[in-house]
Amino acid sequence: MSPRKKVLRKVLDLPVIKGFKPYGPESGKQNSVPVNLLYEEYEAIRLSDYDRLNHQQASEMMAVSRPTFTRIYASALRKIAEAFVEGRQISIEGGKVYFDSDWYQCDNCHCNFNNPEKEKDIKACPLCGNQQIKRYDSDDATEYTAKKSCNDTCYCPDCGFEQVQQPGQACNQQLCPTCNSLMVGKGTQNC
């Protein structure tokens, strides 16, 4: 029996940050691989704990069933607890989501912004004015990841080791198993 098809989850707002980093003398020494909090998990925390909606109300906002919302919320809490206890960085990206309005990212300053007024075209970044912007498109029901420009292969610039990119994690968040250096996307130094 094949697994059920994952329903896209509605996200009203992108997070204002891309993650958290621990600080202190021992931060990041035990495990430097970040915990990946998906956009739908962020949205579940935001709706339930920040907006103080009950699970039924929050599930309706995300257009999923209440049991599905509860599973997403529980997964988010587990990941946050894991990051706190182990002193790991939290990275917020990825997931099977769609947005309430059109969202864009500037190629220059990498700010995320939306277009709630669909009748007006976006011509430039509202922050820096750059005209090179890209639209996040989830119409094809593929997994959304902010850094899709990378190839599917990560390599280590220090020792040359290569491996297949792990889903939901950018290459620059993976450590080389050979020499413990940060990996980069093959063909680019920015992935």
* 130-137 mean pLDDT: 75
The answer to whether the pTM exceeds 0.85 is no
pLDDT per position as a tens digit, 139-148:
433 333 333 3
Residue 49 banded pLDDT, cuts 50, 70, 90:
very high
Residue 4 banded pLDDT, cuts 50, 70, 90:
low
Residue 40 banded pLDDT, cuts 50, 70, 90:
very high
Q: According to the model, what pLDDT value does residue 188 have?
A: 41
Please compute Rg for the chain using Cα positions. 18
Q: 66, 57 in Cβ contact below 8 A?
A: no
Residue 84 to residue 141: CA distance in whole angstroms: 32
Grouping H, G, I as helix, E, B as strand and the rest as coil, residue 90 is: strand
DSSP-derived secondary structure letter, 40: H
pLDDT per position as a tens digit, 147-181:
333 346 777 877 888 887 765 567 777 788 888 88
pLDDT per position as a tens digit, 78-95:
999 999 988 889 999 888
Strands (DSSP E) contained in 38-135 are 90-92, 97-99, 102-106, 112-115, 133-135
pLDDT per position as a tens digit, 103-124:
777 887 777 777 766 667 777 8
